[in-house]
Structure 1
Amino acid sequence: MKSELTNFHFIRAGMQKRRRRWLFVTAVLTISACLLCCLMLMLGNTIYPVNEVVRSLFGEQIQGVTFAVNTIRFPRMLAGVFAGFAFGVGGYIFQTMLRNPLANPNVLGITSGSSVAAVFCITVLHTSNAVVSVASVGAGLATVLVMYVLSKGKTFSIGRLILIGIGIQAMLDAFISYLLLLSAQQDISAALLWLSGSLNGVQLSELPPLMLTVLGLTPIAALYGKQLNMLELGEQTASSLGVATNKTRLVLIVWAVFLVAVATATTGPIAFISFLAGPIANRLVDIGASNIIPAGLVGANIVLIADLIGQFAFEYRFPVGVITGLIGAPYLIYLLIKMNRKGEL
């Protein structure tokens, strides 16, 4: 009896410690994102003081400041925060559910599906930005539906899903290249800018779908945090713990894909955010907790930092996706080497 009480107190103390660490890390990431947002609003060709930025945001007309802050910097900042959060949450869900750090929307072809639709609308149909956004979201959802149907079989297979996703990504990337080869010169630059992942030219009117999606779906995804952690233990273990695996997996996949697809439709496929955010959040918070919110905050921080670097660290300005690609590519190589040494490839 005494040993049982000791074990109970030990487990409870461990849970409380993880809870405190989760709260601390989440608070630090939130404060960091807020500070980066302030920098995004202040910095540019002209640096504006905080008081002028705040007055401008509250509607005061200040020559030069109001246009730069309200029309250019504020929408750019919001797009970075919400798109980064969406990519981070979507990537974390896929990596945790499929128990593989390579299983993220970029590798599985989901962002490629959205990109095909966007490039087709830009280069062939010459549609408006609104149509491009709707088409890319629909194509992303259709891509994951095809993947899920092909991988299901008699029983769901994680390995089968990843292999099918990689194959679909290769096929879709080839089709994107084909579209670009056939496109007129004036359309190629617009398509390449979209494909690179960029916050340039984002308008406030384009952001409500992304903001509503993130604010609406993230709490629902967080409610499935415990079930998601149980799925990471394996199919049989999760089922024995009372998790309706097929239903839970389908709900999480739909939520994650919708988040990633809407973010991709708004900013283009910003490289490696969904790949980096989950592992970094797990390292900061440690395993055993639902890191959906921390992963989203990590994604937002990475996008904001990368955009500031792309704007001010070089002689020329680079889209945010170029900077995140430079950050994420070495980590991908490191991860592949590490998994190969462990015999996981």
Structure 2
Amino acid sequence: MLRRRRFAVRLEWRPVVVCAVLALAIAGMAVLALMTGSYRIGAGQVVSALTGGETGLVHDIVVEWRLPRVTATVVFGAALGVSGAVFQSLLRNPLADPGIIGFSQGSYTGALIVILVVNGTYLQLVGGALLGGMATAVAVYLLAHRRGVQGFRLIVVGIGLSAILRSLNTWLILEADLEVAIAAAAWEAGSLNGVSWNQVLIGGACITMLLLLAGMLSRPMRQLELGDDAAASQGVRVAPARLALIVVGVALTATVTAASGPIAFISLVAPQIARRIARTAGITLAPAAFVGALLCLTADYIAQHIAPTPLPVGIITVILGGGYLGWLLFTEARRRL
């Protein structure tokens, strides 16, 4: 228990140790990613380039070419992990992934309209993705609302709306000019190939603020897991807290989608893995963020350096996450028999 004047923070040792180990794994994986490529670089050269000791070609390769992508995978993976943790905690369901319940597709629709209509900047893409994600969230909430909102009903409605939006996105791409359509279709797979320092800095700043907001909302989020009545009896303003958490979760997904397209299944897998290795009673944000960052970084490394040909990171996350989803559905079905 850490106390300072009127503030107190209670920390459990296992999640802290787990986060520290995951941070070391992320650092090691990041150095490996910076070393690997068509021009191989030693670990010492990578560290020297990051600390300003290298100049010339090695510095350009590490800092200007590879580091933006590695930074993006870590930051975006953490954002997706926290977004998934927020929705799984709110709905009390391990299937509550922004991709499954339609929010990612809504964000992609908003960003796609900006691309096809105005060929907008990254900030305009973020705005379009945020509007699309929020509009989808409102639609899913209203369609699922019947004497309150139950998690399972919201997920089913989200899956249906996600299928509709996916069809709409396909139609928009088919109606677009050939070059724009090819770029949009490749971006839909979830690709980090075009990520620049500009997108990393802007997206990272947005995600950092959203993660701080999520951290401030972590206590009411955990209390809402007990149910609305129990949370209200503990002084939580249920409706504003739930709305704030939904906005933060959608905004995290939208910011990532605007930069790289929808990267599937990180939001689904990361919170559950984090809960199991940290052995917490519920879903916690910090372990989910670290697991999401490590998963995204590892998936991108596999896509770029282990696959027979370089692939969008979203293809690898779909393969890994699809297997996890099948296992999760199987175990849930067995538990209810």
TM-score with structure 1 setting the length: 0.88
**2:4 is matched with which residue?**
none
**1:76 is matched with which residue?**
69
Note the residue ranges of structure 1 that are not aligned, 5 or more in a row.
1-15
More off after superposition, 328-337 vs 292-301 = 328-337
SS for the counterpart of 1:207 is helix
Q: Deviations over 1:287-318 (max 9, x none)?
A: 32662011011000001111111111122111
Correspondence list, 1:268-283, <5 A: 268-283=261-276
Work out whether residues 79 and 267 of structure 1, in 8 Å CA contact, stay in contact via their aligned partners in 2.
Answer: no
Deviation (angstroms), 1:53: 2.7
Does residue 239 of the first structure (1) align with residue 232 of the second (2)? yes
Choose from 250, 256, 260 the match for 1:263: 256
**Structure 1: how far apart are the matches of 2:193 and 2:185?**
13
**2:131 is matched with which residue?**
138
Deviation (angstroms), 1:73: 0.5
1:218/1:130 CA distance change after superposition, 3 Å: closer
Work out whether residues 226 and 290 of structure 1, in 8 Å CA contact, stay in contact via their aligned partners in 2.
Answer: no
CA RMSD of aligned residues (A): 2.2
Deviation (angstroms), 1:120: 2.8
Choose from 12, 21, 29 the match for 2:22: 29
**Structure 2: how far apart are the matches of 1:81 and 1:142?**
28
Correspondence list, 1:81-230, <5 A: 81-152=74-145, 155-230=148-223
**Structure 1: how far apart are the matches of 2:288 and 2:50?**
29
**Structure 1: how far apart are the matches of 2:215 and 2:126?**
26
Work out whether residues 271 and 283 of structure 2, in 8 Å CA contact, stay in contact via their aligned partners in 1.
Answer: no
**Structure 2: how far apart are the matches of 1:200 and 1:323?**
14
The aligned amino acid for 2:327 is Y
**Structure 2: how far apart are the matches of 1:340 and 1:171?**
27
Deviation (angstroms), 1:201: 2.1
Deviation (angstroms), 1:31: 0.9
1:339/1:116 CA distance change after superposition, 3 Å: same
**Structure 1: how far apart are the matches of 2:241 and 2:19?**
25
More off after superposition, 154-163 vs 132-141 = 154-163
Note the residue ranges of structure 2 that are not aligned, 5 or more in a row.
1-9
Q: Deviations over 1:148-197 (max 9, x none)?
A: 34444553433443233222211101101212222333223211221111
Work out whether residues 197 and 270 of structure 1, in 8 Å CA contact, stay in contact via their aligned partners in 2.
Answer: yes
The aligned amino acid for 2:155 is I
Work out whether residues 122 and 190 of structure 1, in 8 Å CA contact, stay in contact via their aligned partners in 2.
Answer: no
Q: Deviations over 1:251-298 (max 9, x none)?
A: 111111111111111111111000000000000111326620110110
Calculate percent identity across the aligned residue pairs.
35
Work out whether residues 80 and 300 of structure 1, in 8 Å CA contact, stay in contact via their aligned partners in 2.
Answer: yes
SS for the counterpart of 1:107 is coil
Does residue 295 of the first structure (1) align with residue 288 of the second (2)? yes
Q: Deviations over 1:115-170 (max 9, x none)?
A: 11223333454444443333122211222233334444553433443233222211
**Structure 2: how far apart are the matches of 1:225 and 1:127?**
34
**Structure 2: how far apart are the matches of 1:265 and 1:128?**
10
Deviation (angstroms), 1:60: 5.8
SS for the counterpart of 1:210 is helix
TM-score with structure 2 setting the length: 0.90
SS for the counterpart of 1:220 is helix
Work out whether residues 122 and 132 of structure 1, in 8 Å CA contact, stay in contact via their aligned partners in 2.
Answer: yes
1:23/1:61 CA distance change after superposition, 3 Å: closer
Question: Which of 1 and 2 has greater Rg?
Answer: 1
Does residue 310 of the first structure (1) align with residue 303 of the second (2)? yes
SS for the counterpart of 1:309 is helix
Deviation (angstroms), 1:43: 1.4
1:118/1:224 CA distance change after superposition, 3 Å: closer
SS for the counterpart of 1:342 is helix
Work out whether residues 97 and 228 of structure 1, in 8 Å CA contact, stay in contact via their aligned partners in 2.
Answer: yes
**Structure 1: how far apart are the matches of 2:240 and 2:72?**
31
**Structure 1: how far apart are the matches of 2:212 and 2:245?**
12
1:304/1:201 CA distance change after superposition, 3 Å: same
Work out whether residues 104 and 133 of structure 2, in 8 Å CA contact, stay in contact via their aligned partners in 1.
Answer: yes
Q: Deviations over 1:93-133 (max 9, x none)?
A: 10111011111100111110111122333345444444333
1:62/1:215 CA distance change after superposition, 3 Å: same
More off after superposition, 194-203 vs 206-215 = 206-215
Aligned residues: 328
Work out whether residues 29 and 297 of structure 1, in 8 Å CA contact, stay in contact via their aligned partners in 2.
Answer: yes
**Structure 2: how far apart are the matches of 1:343 and 1:79?**
40
